[in-house]
Amino acid sequence: MSTLETNSIGKYSGNNVSIDDALNLKSYDTTGRDALTSVAGDIIYNTTTGKLEYYDGSAWVQTGDSKVPVQYVVIAGGGSGGATQANGYSPGGGGAGGYRSSVGTESSGGGYGTDLVAFVETGTSYTVTIGGGGAAVDPGSAYYSGYKGSLSRFASIFAEGGGAGGRLFGPALNTNSGADRSGGSGGGGGAYNGANGPAGNGTAGQGFSGGYGASYAQLGGGGGGGGASAAGQFTTGAPGGAGGNGVASSITGTSVTRAGGGGGGAYNNTAGAGGTGGGGAGVSGGTATSGTQYTGGGGGGGGSSSSSRGISGAGGSGIVILRYPDTFTITLAGGATSVGGETSVGTNEKYIQIETSGTVSFA
């Protein structure tokens, strides 16, 4: 017959209690912890980290530690669309900048799940890089691919620049040094003279691929978005390929969609629409729409008409958004600037939107 053993718990005053033996908290590894349905104030022992952790309402925090739990959205610069001379057919749209998120259960780009929350040290400077969008292209009497966007970074978290919109089939016909169609999200393929241009690939965990160009339909493919692949358009008389849609995040307390791909250009036809989340529309003669700044949107493809060249849209610049407990304060240095500074959000948290490169530290 077993003996029931109990601990004596004595209350002295207020909330103070004493326990005869050591208190053994429920243990989970990190995977098991993340599968819990938790509320603010829950405490566990994490067997993966060997630390006591408590849930602050949005993230697990290690106790007795100076590290700051930081949720982030990091978006790179979008690629610009391709461009062409008059009577030069249909370049593709630029791909959106790579998209990475560690917010709640929100997705990162490319259909991947949430990244891990970043735990950073107080009193330490961390690099923040805001990627620029690929430059717009005025082709004059030539044919050009767009330019790839630049990477964005927070500490050790990197997002890849969006792929360039293509102009023609084959790498030998990409005349710009920055004309890599693959990137965070892939750029759309161009189309000309019997050649269906291939699209660029997205980066795993950051964005989707672009759409193919279609020569016989004289339509460029759309640039890939963070939240969806772009359309390749193969139907004669249809619009150019639409850019892929972006990803929504409520890191600021309001749902905002970013990282949409650029629409493909068209020859003497309707060009492709930009993807939701800052993607620029393509054009059929004239100047395509640029990706929206601070969204990582891809620029539209500059398709031509029989009498007018197509100028591409530039990629939109990226952004870094951080969210953390309001018991900490952030300092920006080295050229880093934000919009609105630290702003309260949710329960006992703050966020900041950083739009220029530099460093950040927490205290």
Instruction: Indicate which CATH number applies to the domain containing 33.
Output: 2.10.10
Task: Give the domain-ending residue among 47, 65, 83.
Answer: 65
Contacts of 299 (CB under 8 A, 6+ apart): 78, 79, 80, 81, 93, 94, 133, 134, 136, 146, 165, 223, 262, 280, 288, 289, 290, 291, 312, 313, 314, 315, 316
**What 3-state DSSP class applies to 173?**
helix
Give yes or no: residues 47 and 157 share one domain.
no
Whether residue 4 is contained in a domain is answered as no
Whether residue 5 is contained in a domain is answered as no
Paired tokens of 276: 């939701």
Give yes or no: residues 45 and 83 share one domain.
no
Give yes or no: residues 244 and 337 share one domain.
yes
Amino acid at position 102, single letter: S
Q: 47 lies in which domain range?
A: 10-65
Give yes or no: residues 261 and 345 share one domain.
yes
Give yes or no: residues 129 and 23 share one domain.
no
Give yes or no: residues 211 and 323 share one domain.
yes
> For the chain, what is the domain count?
2
Give yes or no: residues 60 and 72 share one domain.
no
Paired tokens of 222: 């759309």
Give yes or no: residues 103 and 243 share one domain.
yes
Distance CA 177, CA 90 (A): 20
To the question of pTM greater than 0.85 for the whole model, the response is no
Q: What is the pLDDT along the chain (363 residues), one digit of tens a residue?
A: 445 455 555 555 556 666 666 677 788 988 888 889 888 888 888 887 677 888 888 777 766 556 899 999 999 999 999 998 888 778 899 999 999 999 999 999 999 999 999 999 999 999 999 999 999 999 887 778 899 999 999 999 999 999 999 876 444 444 444 468 899 999 998 876 666 778 899 999 999 999 888 776 677 777 788 888 876 655 666 677 899 999 999 999 999 999 999 999 988 888 999 999 999 999 999 999 999 999 999 999 999 898 999 999 999 999 999 999 999 999 999 999 999 999 999 889 999 999 999 999 999
Give yes or no: residues 52 and 165 share one domain.
no
Q: What b-and-e string marks burial along 105-125, b requiring 16 or more CB atoms within 10 Å of the CB?
A: ebbbbbbeebbebbbbeeeee
Whether residue 3 is contained in a domain is answered as no
Whether residue 267 is contained in a domain is answered as yes
Whether residue 2 is contained in a domain is answered as no
Task: Give the domain-ending residue among 65, 92, 108.
Answer: 65
Whether residue 252 is contained in a domain is answered as yes
Give yes or no: residues 189 and 297 share one domain.
yes
CA distances from 175 to 26, 170, 289, 313 (A): 61, 11, 22, 17
Give yes or no: residues 132 and 164 share one domain.
yes
Q: Are 98 and 79 in contact (CB under 8 A)?
A: no
Give yes or no: residues 359 and 245 share one domain.
yes
Find the helix or strand (DSSP H, E) in which 34 lies: helix 30-34
Whether residue 292 is contained in a domain is answered as yes
Q: What b-and-e string marks burial along 135-166, b requiring 16 or more CB atoms within 10 Å of the CB?
A: bbbebeeebbbbbbbbbbbbbebbbbbbbbbb
